[in-house]
Copies of this chain bind each other. A is one copy, B any other.
Amino acid sequence: MSEQIVYIGSKPIINYVTAILTSFNSNPKPDKVIVKARGRSISAAVDAVEVTRHRFLSDLKHEVTIGTEQMQGDEGGTRNVSTIEIALSISPEAKKPSGS
């Protein structure tokens, strides 16, 4: 199964929407596009997925996983940061042109 990963940072949402669409249109076509974000960017990840779904790909399916990662702190210690992974796929019926 082929996957492409889109990491969400602090750029405008539309940049990530474009990245998601580009990933789905790459060759060979990926089965899944995984949107990943940490900390404050988690909201932006949900925004990017929702905008993609409402404006461009209404057949988008998603599966959401949340978790925690340990990051190296500035002063040597570690700190916990929340993560989100949203696995996107296009339902198989939508991939085929209708009436074929």
How many angstroms from the CA of A83 to the CA of B46 in the assembled complex?
8
Number of copies of chain A assembled together: 2
Contact across chains for A80 and B43 when beta carbons are under 8 A apart = no
Say yes or no for A68: interface residue by CB 8 A criterion. Answer: yes
Residues of chain B contacted by A62 (CB below 8 angstroms): 66
Residues of chain B contacted by A64 (CB below 8 angstroms): 64-66
Chain A 77-100, CB-CB to B under 8 Å as 1, else 0, gives: 000101110100000000000000
What's the interface size class on A, roughly?
20 to 34
Chain A 43-60, CB-CB to B under 8 Å as 1, else 0, gives: 100110110001000000
Binding site for B on A (CB under 8 A): 39-43, 46-47, 49-50, 54, 62, 64-68, 80, 82-84, 86
